[in-house]
Structure 1
């Protein structure tokens, strides 16, 4: 209600809606808005299509098994298991994305509480050492020329003699 003389009230009205300015409230649909992005809608649709398709194939196998095809009983069980696996993977991905979302919106921890430097504890006797990433080492060729192998030189001479004398037999080699 305006005050006389056009002055604005010094305090906000009691019926002012502050809920819309506080952000999403946990447990509401507004908190799950990230599940309705185009990528997630595609995942939801794919999950529904796969589950309906797998259950339909399972029902088809049940009807074939009832008609006398005994091997179809195994498939009648297998297709619903596939549908359950699709639901499990979808549920796990939603939980993982929700966990990442809550970590992203969580305020950072107080810097006074955080340790300044993380030190690696010394390996105690009987404990398992930490697994570390392998280190790549560049191989540099040796600076000096390697000594010539006498057996290799003799074999190369033999091959060149055989090439120069195409009709000769290996027993004709003079060396």
Structure 2
């Protein structure tokens, strides 16, 4: 239980109370606006308490997770190998805990009928002319 009274957890508890009070206060404000004739405020009057409930849900889930976990000094990280019964230093794994994604080079597909597109070839010539003449305007293209 002492794990829930560290400075980081005290900030979380205070943030939860402030957020829940703020959401419920905004919900009450929307109820008073709805009672004054603003019809759309009825939806917001329902929405703000739902937000407050979500804050409580996340806070409660984090509290349960902290209480179920081991103390921080002997906690095992998610990628660490299982502890062995043999005494002595553990061997270092060559496999990293997080692997990099495999990159696949994609080659553009050839046209289905095998014929070159004349408009595409002309456009590519135009783009290469613009690249070769950086100060030119598109209206200066001779082709």
Q: Deviations over 1:92-146 (max 9, x none)?
A: 111112222369769x98838xxxxxxxxxxxxxxxxxxx86457xxxxxxxxxx
- 1:90 aligned onto 2:59: yes
Q: How does 1:31-110 map to 2 (within 5 A)?
A: 32-101=1-70
Greater RCO, CA 8 A, separation 6+: 2
CA separation in 1, counterparts of 2:142 and 2:28?
76
Q: Which runs of 5+ in 1 are unaligned?
A: 1-31, 113-131, 137-154, 160-168
Please give the secondary structure, in 1, of the residue aligned with 2:70: helix
SS in 1 for 2:17: helix
The structure with the larger Rg is: 1
Which 4+ stretches in 1 moved above 2 angstroms?
Answer: 101-106, 108-112, 132-136
CA shift digits 1:10-67 (9 cap, x unpaired): xxxxxxxxxxxxxxxxxxxxxx011001100000000000000100000010011011
Unmatched 5+ stretches in structure 2: 76-81, 87-98, 104-127, 133-140
Q: Distance in 2 between matches of 1:65 and 1:88?
A: 27
Q: CA RMSD in A?
A: 3.6
Q: Distance in 2 between matches of 1:60 and 1:103?
A: 42
Of residues 111, 116, 122, the one that matches 2:85 is 111
Count of aligned residue pairs for this structure pair: 93
What is the CA–CA distance in structure 2 between the aligned matches of 1:170 and 1:72, rounded to whole Å?
A: 63
Matches within 5 A, 1:136-175: none
Name the CA distance, whole Å, in 2 between partners of 1:60 and 1:73: 11
| Structure 1 residue 71: Cα displacement | 0.5
Q: 1:75/1:105 Cα in 2 relative to 1: closer, same or farther (>3 Å)? A: same
